[in-house]
Amino acid sequence: MIEILYFAWLREKIGLPRERVETGAATVADLVQELALRDDAYALAFADLTSLRVALDQELADFDAPLAGVREVAFFPPMTGG
């Protein structure tokens, strides 16, 4: 089981802040593909990966990063701190 978190407009498009999923995805990209197949909201939310960022267990990562051992995946738009 992986905990998935969504922030900012991604959270709004998908309609929830977090969910638990059972997945066999090997990488973040595989997980994204799985989610995008669920329905139109997910497909739209994940349509353009260049406008998204991902963190694995609270650390920024790339979309080709492996998911083995990861407990929390967070997806969000580019950050606008400061």
Contact 23, 31 (CB under 8 A): yes
Contact 14, 82 (CB under 8 A): no
Cβ distance to another protein smaller for residue 31 or 74: 74
Cβ distance to another protein smaller for residue 58 or 68: 58
Q: Which residues of 34-61 are buried (b: 16+ CB within 10 A; e: fewer)?
A: ebbeeeeebeebbeeeeebbbbbeeeeb
Interface with another protein, residue 14, by CB under 8 A: no
- Per CB under 8 A, the segment of 21-29, 34-42, 52-60, 61-69 that binds another protein is 52-60
Binder of another protein out of 7, 21, 25, 49 (CB under 8 A) = 7
The site for another protein (CB under 8 A) is made up of 5, 7-9, 11, 55, 58-60, 72, 74, 76-82
